[in-house]
C-alpha cells in the first residue's frame, strides 16, 4: 500500500462531493490501514478474559482479503471496484466479525451496482443496504454489537445528508455517529457492561470509518513503529541428537582465549561439567559445545570467561526439544479415505493431537484453526471442494467459526451441512455418529443430536480483571469455560480442574476425557489425571495430547 501516492487522490477534500473509482479504492485502503494500526486495541476488547480475543485480527484479515482483490486495479468504475472488494471479503472472511464485515461490503457494493462514481446520496444508500444485508446474514441478530453500530450510523448519515456540503462533512457525521453508538453498546448488551468494554466488532467498524476520514484529511494511517530485528542463533548442529540422562541443556560458546589453549586440559575441565563435548577452532576463535545437567548450566560459561573473551553464547533446552519431537510423532495421522457418493467430514482442529483423534474417527479433511486462528470462508470452501464426493459435513468446533462455515456452503453446489459444534468435545461426540455410507439427512440429524451428549470444559488463563456472569476474575488467574460460559476462577490449574468437575456434577456421568495443550508438560498433565482418577475411581478417565494453544485442558464429560 502506497500512502503517499494514494493521498494525492484526496486533493481538495473540502470540495469533494463525488468519489471516483480510484478514490473509492483509496478509501478501502485507508480503512484497512487504520484498522491494522488499531488491531490490538480491538482484540483487547474481547468480553471473555481469555487469550483468544481476535476480533481485530479477523476483521483485518477480512479487509485485507477485500483489498487484495483491487490492490493493482486501475478500474475507474466505483461499483465494479466495490463488487471486487465484496467478493474478496466474502472469501477471506474469518470469524463471526469477519463474516458480518463481508456482508457489510456485500450490501454496500450492491447499492452502487456498477455505478461509475459514488456521490454522497449513494454513500448513504450503500450504508443502509449494508445494514440490511448484515442483519440478514445473522440468524439471531443481537443489539449492542457491530450490527447496532452500523444501523445507528446509517440512520445518522441519512438524516444529516441534506445539511452536508461535502464528503468531509458526511464522513465526520459517520465517524461521530459510529463512536456514539459504540459508547451505548454496553447499555444494550449486559455482558459488555459486566466486562467493562464496548463491542469489539463495532469498534473495528468505527476504525474503518475513521480511516476513511483520516485519508480525506491527510492524516497518518500508521504509526511506523521501530522495527526490532530478531536474528536466530545459527550455532547449533541441526541433526537430531540422542539425549541421555543429565543432558538437560546444550551450551555453545564462541570465544577467543587470552593465552594459548591447551586442549587436553580444556577437555578435562569441561568433562567435570557435562558430556558430548566438542571444540572447533578457526582463525584464533574457538567454539565449545557441551551438554550439561540443569545444575551445571552456567559452569562452562563461567569457566570460559576466565580463559578469555566470549562474544556469542547459545543455550538450548534439550528436554524441551525432545518433548517437541515426541509431540510431533504423537501428532502424525492419516486422513480417512473417501469415495464418490460417501459422506465426508471436514473438521476444524485447534491442535495436532486433536487432529490425530479426528482422523482416527473418520475425518477426511482437517483445517487448522480455533481460538486466535479462525479459518476463512475460502479455506473452508476449498476443503469442501477438494473432496471427491458431493456429500460433505462441516464440523467448526468453535462458535466463532460457525458463521464462516455457513457462508462457505452458499458458495458450492455440493450437498453440505454444518454441524453447530462449538468446541472439540462436541465435535468428537458428533463424529461418533458418523456413517459414511448412510443417508445424508439422517446422518446430519444424528450428528446434531449428539452435541447434547457431552459436557465441555476449557481451562485457560485470564487476560484481564473483570466480573462476568457473577464470577470475579483477576488477571493471571486460571479460569474455566463450561459449555461456552465463564463459570469459575482459581489460582492454579489443578484447583480449576477439580472445581470444574464438581461444578459439572461429574459423579452423574461415566467418562472423563482430558486433552492437554502445548503449554503444559505431559508429566504434569498425567499427574493431574491420576488425581482425577483417584477422586472418581468408578469413572473411565482418559488423557490425550491435544496440542491446542492457550488452553491447558479441554475436558469432555460423558
- Structural domain boundaries of the chain? 3-216, 249-325, 331-452, 455-557
Q: How many other CB atoms sit within 10 Å of the CB of residue 258?
A: 10
Fold of 331-452: Rossmann fold (3.40.50)
Condensed to tens digits (0 to 9), the pLDDT of residues 361-388 reads 999 999 998 777 888 899 999 999 999 9
Is pLDDT at 245 greater than 80 in this prediction? no
Q: Tell me which of 500 and 232 has the higher pLDDT.
A: 500
Write down the residue that cell numbers 541433526 correspond to: 239
Q: Tell me which of 323 and 84 has the higher pLDDT.
A: 84
pLDDT-based confidence at 262, cuts 50/70/90?
confident
Cα gap 247→316, rounded to integer Å: 11
Name the class of domain 3-216: mainly alpha
Q: Tell me which of 136 and 371 has the higher pLDDT.
A: 136
Condensed to tens digits (0 to 9), the pLDDT of residues 217-242 reads 999 887 633 222 222 223 223 333 44
Q: In angstroms, how far is the first alpha carbon of the chain from the final one? A: 52
Q: Does domain 249-325 have CATH number 3.65.10.10?
A: no
Tell me the three cell numbers of residue 223.
504509526
- What is the model's pLDDT at position 540? 92
Task: Identify the bridge partners of residue 393 per DSSP, sorted by sequence position.
Answer: 345, 417
Q: Give the residue from 438, 390, 433, 395 showing the smallest Cα distance to 414.
A: 390
pLDDT-based confidence at 33, cuts 50/70/90?
very high
Condensed to tens digits (0 to 9), the pLDDT of residues 321-346 reads 666 656 556 557 788 888 999 999 99
Fold of 455-557: Hypothetical Protein Tm841; Chain: A;domain 3 (3.30.1180)
- What is the model's pLDDT at position 447? 95
Tell me the three cell numbers of residue 208.
474503518
E-state strands within 353-454? 365-368, 391-395, 415-418
- What is the model's pLDDT at position 222? 79
Q: Give the residue from 330, 484, 368, 367 showing the smallest Cα distance to 422.
A: 484
Q: Checking DSSP bridges between strand 365-368 and strand 415-418, what pairing results, if any?
A: unpaired
Query: What mean pLDDT comes out for the span 253-280?
Result: 85
Q: Tell me which of 15 and 145 has the higher pLDDT.
A: 145
Tell me the three cell numbers of residue 225.
513503529
- What is the model's pLDDT at position 50? 59
Condensed to tens digits (0 to 9), the pLDDT of residues 382-410 reads 999 999 999 999 999 998 899 999 998 88
Q: Tell me which of 526 and 288 has the higher pLDDT.
A: 526
Condensed to tens digits (0 to 9), the pLDDT of residues 37-54 reads 898 888 888 766 655 557
What would the 3-class secondary structure string for 140-155 be? CCCCCCHHHHHHHHHH
Q: What is the DSSP string of 407-434?
A: HHHTT-SSEEEE----SHHHHHHHHTT-
Is pLDDT at 146 greater than 90 in this prediction? yes
Write down the residue that cell numbers 469442501 correspond to: 384
- What is the model's pLDDT at position 73? 93
- What is the model's pLDDT at position 177? 95
Mean pLDDT of the chain: 86
Amino acid at each position: 500500500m502506497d500512502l503517499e501516492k494514494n493521498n494525492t487522490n484526496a486533493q481538495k477534500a473540502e470540495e469533494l462531493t463525488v468519489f471516483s473509482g480510484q478514490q473509492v479504492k483509496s478509501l478501502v485502503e485507508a480503512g484497512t490501514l487504520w484498522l491494522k494500526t488499531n488491531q490490538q486495541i480491538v482484540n483487547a476488547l474481547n468480553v471473555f478474559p481469555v487469550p483468544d480475543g481476535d476480533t481485530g485480527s479477523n476483521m483485518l484479515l477480512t479487509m485485507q482479503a477485500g483489498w487484495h482483490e483491487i490492490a493493482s486495479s486501475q478500474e475507474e468504475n466505483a461499483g465494479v471496484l466495490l463488487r471486487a472488494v465484496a467478493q474478496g471479503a466474502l472469501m477471506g472472511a474469518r470469524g463471526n466479525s469477519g463474516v458480518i464485515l463481508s456482508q457489510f461490503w456485500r450490501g454496500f457494493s450492491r447499492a452502487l451496482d456498477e455505478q461509475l462514481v459514488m456521490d454522497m446520496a449513494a454513500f448513504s444508500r450503500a450504508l443502509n443496504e449494508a445494514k440490511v444485508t448484515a442483519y440478514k446474514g445473522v440468524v439471531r441478530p443481537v443489539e449492542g454489537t457491530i450490527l447496532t453500530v452500523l444501523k445507528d450510523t446509517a440512520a445518522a448519515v441519512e438524516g444529516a445528508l441534506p445539511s452536508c456540503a461535502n464528503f468531509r462533512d458526511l464522513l465526520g457525521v459517520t465517524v461521530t455517529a459510529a463512536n456514539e453508538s459504540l459508547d451505548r453498546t454496553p447499555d444494550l448488551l449486559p455482558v459488555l457492561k459486566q466486562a467493562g468494554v464496548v463491542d469489539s466488532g463495532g469498534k473495528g467498524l468505527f476504525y474503518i470509518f475513521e480511516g476513511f476520514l483520516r485519508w480525506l484529511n491527510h492524516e497518518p494511517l500508521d504509526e511506523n513503529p521501530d522495527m526490532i530485528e530478531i536474528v536466530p542463533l545459527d550455532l547449533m548442529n541441526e541433526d537430531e541428537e540422542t539425549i541421555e540422562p543429565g543432558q538437560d541443556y546444550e551450551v555453545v560458546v564462541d570465544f577467543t582465549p587470552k593465552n594459548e589453549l591447551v586442549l587436553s586440559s580444556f577437555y578435562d575441565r569441561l568433562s567435570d561439567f557435562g558430556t558430548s563435548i566438542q571444540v572447533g577452532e578457526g582463525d584464533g576463535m574457538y567454539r565449545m559445545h557441551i551438554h550439561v545437567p540443569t545444575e551445571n548450566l552456567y559452569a562452562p560459561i563461567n569457566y570460559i570467561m576466565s580463559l578469555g573473551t566470549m562474544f556469542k553464547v547459545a543455550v538450548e533446552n534439550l528436554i524441551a526439544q525432545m518433548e517437541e519431537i515426541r509431540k510431533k510423532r504423537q501428532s502424525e495421522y492419516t486422513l480417512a479415505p473417501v469415495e464418490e457418493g460417501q459422506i465426508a467430514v471436514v473438521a476444524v482442529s485447534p491442535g495436532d493431537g486433536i487432529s490425530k483423534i479426528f482422523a482416527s474417527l473418520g475425518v477426511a479433511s482437517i483445517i487448522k484453526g480455533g481460538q486466535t486462528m479462525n479459518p476463512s470462508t475460502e479455506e473452508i470452501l476449498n476443503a469442501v471442494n477438494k473432496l471427491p464426493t458431493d456429500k460433505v459435513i462441516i464440523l467448526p468446533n468453535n462458535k466463532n467459526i460457525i458463521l464462516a462455515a455457513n457462508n462457505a456452503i452458499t458458495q458450492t453446489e455440493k450437498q453440505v451441512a454444518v454441524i453447530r459444534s462449538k468446541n472439540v468435545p462436541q465435535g468428537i461426540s458428533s463424529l461418533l455418529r458418523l456413517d459414511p455410507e448412510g443417508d445424508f439427512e439422517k446422518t446430519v440429524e444424528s450428528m446434531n443430536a449428539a452435541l447434547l451428549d457431552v459436557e465441555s470444559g476449557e481451562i485457560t488463563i485470564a487476560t484481564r480483571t473483570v466480573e462476568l456472569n457473577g464470577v470475579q476474575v483477576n488477571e493471571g488467574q486460571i479460569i474455566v469455560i463450561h459449555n461456552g460460559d465463564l463459570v469459575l476462577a482459581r489460582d492454579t490449574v489443578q484447583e480449576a480442574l477439580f472445581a470444574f468437575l464438581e461444578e459439572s456434577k461429574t459423579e452423574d456421568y461415566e467418562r472423563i476425557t482430558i486433552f492437554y495443550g502445548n503449554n503444559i508438560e505431559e508429566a504434569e498433565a498425567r499427574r493431574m489425571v491420576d488425581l482425577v482418577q483417584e477422586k472418581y475411581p468408578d469413572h473411565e478417565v482418559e488423557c490425550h495430547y491435544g496440542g491446542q494453544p492457550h488452553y491447558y485442558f479441554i475436558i469432555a464429560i460423558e
